[in-house]
Structure 1
Amino acid sequence: MPKVRVHNVTISLDGFMAGVNQRPDAPFGDGVGWGDELHGWFISAMEDAAAGRTGTDVDYFVRGDQNIGATIMGRNMFGPQRGPWQDDSWKGWWGENPPYHHDVFVHTHHVRPTLEMAGGTAFHFTDEPPEAVLRRAFDAAGGKDVRIGGGAAVIQQYLRAGLIDEMHLVIAPMLIGRGERLFDNLEDVTEGYRVSEMVGSPEVTHAVLVRHPR
């Protein structure tokens, strides 16, 4: 049966996925750069995978794309804009050929037309509740799993709705202090999960959480 999965989501030691004041020149907020301690492991793993190298970080990075047929994300992950769209010129952080190559459903209060990109990626903008979006994503995935990409608010929505089967979290050796914390106010929800893997690399610690059988 297809699953709903979270992969390669990096958090700081104090549980934050991003800092405050996210904007075009600081996508992850103040004090958090794309190549620093929070996401440096991801960049290295991506480069190593492309070069055919192996390792703990590469193994987990690669698993994040295996058997994924559709992705769900929030508007904050798609781009830095807030409020109504000023125009449709923003097409995401990833250039003309995003790395998804399948249907991507973007949660937003401000719907805009579907954005077709090179390589088979199509961004669908929706204000539907998580259950409805997930049904659309499973239909688009064609029997494969659906990935919840982030950010923290979207992952929390799907956790609270009881819709996530598996989460791969990466714990980076840094403190952020304030911003978007992944597990705020989720005490009752997290009781439904157990840690199935905990593996360290020279850069980070990988943890996989799976939902207890219902």
Structure 2
Amino acid sequence: MTKVTAQLSVSVDGFYAGPQHTGDGDWMDSAESAAFFRVTRWVTDAMAWRERQGFTGGERDVNSDVVAESFTSAGAYVMGRRMADGGEVPWGEEPPFRAPVFVVTHRPRERLLRQGGTSFTYVTDGVASAVEQARAVAGGKNVAVAGGGSLVRQVLKAGLLDELELHVVPVVLGTGLRLFDADLDLGEKEGIELMPTRVIPTPQVTHIRYAVTGRAALVLDDRGSGGGPTTTRDV
């Protein structure tokens, strides 16, 4: 069964990149880039990622297996325009996706065909439409929300995400682009409930997969009210 999935590498304090680079200058020299490459170092070191990019070397380990699994399970992708524009040149004529990619954007563009089975379709009528179009061509595999973080939040906010995998890297960044932000529009007494389904710890990163169970009210329970078991501590 096709699921809508997303995954992102984040620091312990929840950032997936440094402060957004909006001025002149090379993005590769920016604070945004430095933090992004710190939290994705485990990916670029993985043999499965390097092979998919046409590079040699890399580590064949658990992290590489996680990368390989993510490529194998995806039948189509949904992507933000900033990521698509930024990757167009580095990815070259044979991008690593090898599947249809649907780019959420406000700026129309003709469909872009690349070698190896990758195509980029630019969707201007919203994230729900992009997910629906991706699901239609995924061939029973997953629809992978490739990012960035703003797009992952949009899909989560719309209630379209079935599974979220966070790759938590043991570093504290302190500032930058945060995955979870106020634009989820949660009520004061509302949360989005997640259920852990898999945890894989490694020295470089901890992979935590969650099933997204949806929005729910935050209900005060009766612990400490005398209505049930309580725990006391002598001071």
Q: Which has the higher contact order (CA 8 A, sep 6+)?
A: 1
Query: Are residues 1:203 and 2:209 paired?
Result: no
Question: How many Å separate the matches in 1 of 2:106 and 2:117?
Answer: 25
Q: Percent identity of the aligned residues?
A: 32
TM-score, scaled to structure 2 = 0.76
Aligned to 2:149: 152
Q: For residue 27 of structure 2, what is the amino acid of its counterpart?
A: A
The size of the alignment, in residue pairs, is 204
Query: Are residues 1:120 and 2:121 paired?
Result: no
Question: How many Å separate the matches in 2 of 1:192 and 1:169?
Answer: 15
> Could you say which structure has the higher helix fraction?
2
Gaps of 5+ in 2: 52-56, 216-235
How far is the alpha carbon of 1:174 from its aligned partner? 2.1
How far is the alpha carbon of 1:140 from its aligned partner? 1.7
How far is the alpha carbon of 1:92 from its aligned partner? 4.4
3-state SS of the aligned residue for 1:211?
strand
Q: What whole-Å deviation, never above 9, does each CA across 1:93-140 have from its counterpart, x for those lacking one?
A: 311110011110111111111111111111111112222111111112
The 1:28/1:118 distance shift into structure 2, 3 A limit, reads farther
The 1:36/1:53 distance shift into structure 2, 3 A limit, reads closer
How far is the alpha carbon of 1:21 from its aligned partner? 3.5
Aligned to 1:172: 169
Question: How many Å separate the matches in 1 of 2:71 and 2:149?
Answer: 19
Question: How many Å separate the matches in 2 of 1:62 and 1:141?
Answer: 18
3-state SS of the aligned residue for 1:143?
coil
3-state SS of the aligned residue for 1:138?
helix
Query: Are residues 1:77 and 2:74 paired?
Result: no
The 1:77/1:191 distance shift into structure 2, 3 A limit, reads same
Aligned to 1:64: 70
Question: How many Å separate the matches in 2 of 1:75 and 1:167?
Answer: 21
How far is the alpha carbon of 1:36 from its aligned partner? 4.3
How far is the alpha carbon of 1:11 from its aligned partner? 0.7
Aligned to 1:87: none
Question: How many Å separate the matches in 1 of 2:100 and 2:41?
Answer: 27
Aligned to 1:94: 91
Query: Are residues 1:14 and 2:13 paired?
Result: yes
Question: How many Å separate the matches in 1 of 2:124 and 2:159?
Answer: 19
Question: How many Å separate the matches in 2 of 1:29 and 1:190?
Answer: 34
Query: Are residues 1:212 and 2:213 paired?
Result: yes
Q: For residue 207 of structure 2, what is the amino acid of its counterpart?
A: H
Q: What whole-Å deviation, never above 9, does each CA across 1:115-167 have from its counterpart, x for those lacking one?
A: 11111111111112222111111112122211000001100010011111111
How far is the alpha carbon of 1:67 from its aligned partner? 2.7
How far is the alpha carbon of 1:27 from its aligned partner? 5.5
The 1:68/1:38 distance shift into structure 2, 3 A limit, reads same
Query: Are residues 1:2 and 2:16 paired?
Result: no
Question: How many Å separate the matches in 2 of 1:94 and 1:52?
Answer: 18
The 1:163/1:132 distance shift into structure 2, 3 A limit, reads same
